[in-house]
Chain A
Amino acid sequence: MIRKTTAVWAGKATGALSRITKRGGGTTLPGDVARAIDPKILSRLAQDLTQGSIVITGTNGKTTTARLVTWLLEGAGHRVVSNRAGANLIFGATAAALNRAGVDGRLRADWGVFEIDEASLPRAVAELQPKATLVLNLFRDQLDRYGELESIAKKIELALTTLPEDARAILNADDPRVAEIGLGLLKKPTWYGLDDTSVASKTLPHAADARTCPRCGASLIFDAVYVGHDGVYRCPNHDFARPTPELTATNITLNGFDSLALTIGGTRIEMPLGGLYNCYNVLAAYATACSLGLDPKYIAERLRTFKAAFGRQERIEFRGRHLILVLSKNPAGFNETVRTAVDLAHGTNFIIGLNDRKADGTDVSWIWDVDFEQLKDKAAVVIPAGVRANDLAVRLKYAGVPAQEPQTDPGKALDLLIKCTNEGDIAYLLCTYTAMLDLRGELVRRGWAQPYWET
């Protein structure tokens, strides 16, 4: 017990120091420090939760889904601790729990809602013993850091086989690789999926990964493609097919980045998030909330007033321009944010930001898997930005998209945007993680935005 309290104190002191010195939001370092003193600190703190933990993993949508679940629980009067800033390694989850713990070392909260990096899932499940575990999707992402999709899938599989007895797995039936994992589990998971062919396409994008039958190896037939390789699929030899979802989203209406509407089991939901990919996040959050006993009517009402996380469709005013910041960090995600900006929002002005720091992935080859061709003949101003702006400029050239001079300096990228656009214009900033931090940091420095740990 003394060890736990010491660990909490040390962690909290580190967090305070980190914020005072403005070195960042104190979102992971306190976790490192506390875990060094007490390696079991997270499981000890998790035991203080009156209700338990919810763990959310998958390549895309973790932050938004965790924020949605938190929003729903908090609105129903629950005290929730969550790793909001997207610090999703075990240290980030630990830091979040520390931050909410009292000076007596006790965590006073009902629920822990944690977004967890795919590779960290086995550890998170072991330490948190979650009540519900969500797996959103599995796409290629930062191969230099995570390795091949298969090794990530194996880690998730391992984690799900070690879930506690009363725990629930909530899985995306539309993702063939997630379905393969779920179909192998002893306890049947809760499946969810989209069911609206009016928003589907017929062909897989180039970046699709899970396109073959896990049993016989034949190419899967897709009757609908929603996002990446997520859709309605079946094996031509009847060896494998999309599991029938218990919860489906139908009658989907998409209104740019402004809002979406969908119907889940008779409940109509309308909310201020954009893009088809967010329909999956909303459906996953709904499925989780329902499994925890929240009332569908309440859920629909509460979601109306949801606010997106930092850098996820965040809006910032900048010298009369309306900036919309959209994190885009891998081919599946980028294809969707470009599609939403171009097809649904009719956007014409873009800064595309590509960095190659550790958090972005040091290999930028994946930009060749992104269908930037979608911008062709539709975008008026495209500014390649970030550390690897030169690579983006080449990618855009071969996509047939006329672009401005590449800008490796974030301030110069913003200045160029001002030069190329007029007051009242909307511009979309589609960026990798640290490229987003750089642009956002510059906007903070110039007094147009708040530091991210205050959002």
Chain B
Amino acid sequence: MRLTVGWLYPDLMNIYGDRGNILTLLKRAEWHGLEPKLVELGRGATGDMDDVDIFFFGGGQDREQALIYDDLKEFKQEPLQKAVANGAQILAVCGGYQLLGHYYQTADGERYDGIGLIDVRTEAGKKRYIGDIVIQMNIEGLIPATLVGFENHSGRTFLGPNAKPLGKILHGKGNNGSDRTEGCIQNGVIGTYMHGSLLPKNPHFADHLIGNAIRRRGDGALSRLDDSAELAAHDWILQRAQRH
């Protein structure tokens, strides 16, 4: 079975080692006996978006983010809406997470509309949240129940009624530093501030995404892989977070 991964703006939205998420999806798909395929969706690209099972949308620097803004609305907004309606998954990190929401408001009160795929809004904060982050997931049945990563953001994201938090903060700041939530889940869209990269150290979560994506074409069951190296890295962060 084929698994197609669509990488939004790989050349411009790639600041925090986000390639790790792509490599993890592709490698694990291969190890699960699927046929992984990568589609790069840069500026101007529209083709093949119907075939994509999992989209990844990473964070960028302000300068790069400004360069993709118009393209996102013009060429990607509609196909992404359609894809989600058809059961595709989206993982969006940091800047990508913010752009999928209703808007981002700068410190001067200026508003940049997102594409409104998820019921979240973001406002600029004064202090940057930088450091390890550990959350307890709101997704049933995944072992371990934690996600580990690193956050580095000044945006404060608040969830509306249609979006559910991805998890509860055990260590770190998360969405806004005040309500102890991190990330969001809405339909097939997952937004988060966790990089590190996120998926390599959270193989159970990577498989959850892959499973959800292929479920629309089959039973979505995946074989179990040897994740001892990945989980050792996961546990190392858990233990360090507990010491602090």
Contacts and interface: CB of A to CB of B under 8 A. Distances in A.
Contacts of B16: 143, 363, 365-366
B131 interface: yes
A321 to B, nearest CB: 26
Contact of A365 (B11, B17, B43, B236): B17
A148 B62 contact: yes
14 contacts: A150-B61, A208-B11, A217-B67, A362-B131, A363-B152, A365-B195, A367-B17, A368-B17, A391-B200, A391-B201, A394-B200, A394-B230, A394-B233, A398-B20
A366 B232 contact: no
Given A150-B62, A212-B12, A368 B233 contact: no
Contacts of A363: 16, 130, 150, 152, 195-196
B15 A140 contact: yes
A391 B67 contact: no
**5 nearest CB pairs, A to B:** A365-B17, A368-B20, A368-B17, A390-B233, A148-B61
A368 B130 contact: no
A219 interface: yes
A405 to B, nearest CB: 10
Interface in A206-240: 206, 208, 211-212, 217, 219
Given A206-B14, A212-B12, A395-B200, 18 more contacts: A149-B61, A150-B61, A150-B63, A362-B130, A363-B130, A364-B17, A365-B18, A366-B16, A366-B17, A369-B14, A391-B236, A393-B232, A394-B230, A395-B20, A397-B230, A398-B27, A398-B200, A399-B23
A9 to B, nearest CB: 39
Nearest to A206: B19
Interface residues of B, number: 33
Contacts of B63: 148, 150
B64 interface: yes
Interface in B18-36: 18-20, 23-24, 27
A112 interface: no
How big is chain A's contact interface, by range? 20 to 34
Contacts of A366: 16-17
A206 B21 CA distance: 14
B139 interface: no
Contacts of B181: none
A317 interface: no
A367 B20 CA distance: 9
Contacts of A367: 17, 20
B241 to A, nearest CB: 13
Interface centre among A211, A368, A369 (most CB of B within 10 A): A368
Interface string A187-212: 00000000000000000101010011
Interface of B: 10-12, 14-20, 23-24, 27, 43, 61-64, 67, 130-131, 150, 152, 195-197, 200-201, 229-230, 232-233, 236
A357 to B, nearest CB: 13
Interface in A332-380: 362-369
A83 B173 CA distance: 38
Nearest to B196: A365
A256 interface: no
A148 B196 CA distance: 16
Nearest to B17: A365
Interface in A119-149: 140, 143-144, 148-149
B137 to A, nearest CB: 20
Nearest to B235: A390
A208 B63 CA distance: 14
Contact of A148 (B11, B15, B18): B15
A310 B29 CA distance: 43
Contacts of A206: 10, 14, 19
Interface in A376-406: 388, 390-391, 393-395, 397-399, 406
A398 B233 CA distance: 14
A135 to B, nearest CB: 18
Contact of A212 (B14, B19, B67): B67
Nearest to B63: A150
A406 B236 CA distance: 12
Nearest to A208: B11
Contacts of B195: 363, 365
Nearest to B197: A368
B244 to A, nearest CB: 12
B150 A368 contact: no
Given A206-B14, A217-B67, A368-B197, A393 B233 contact: yes
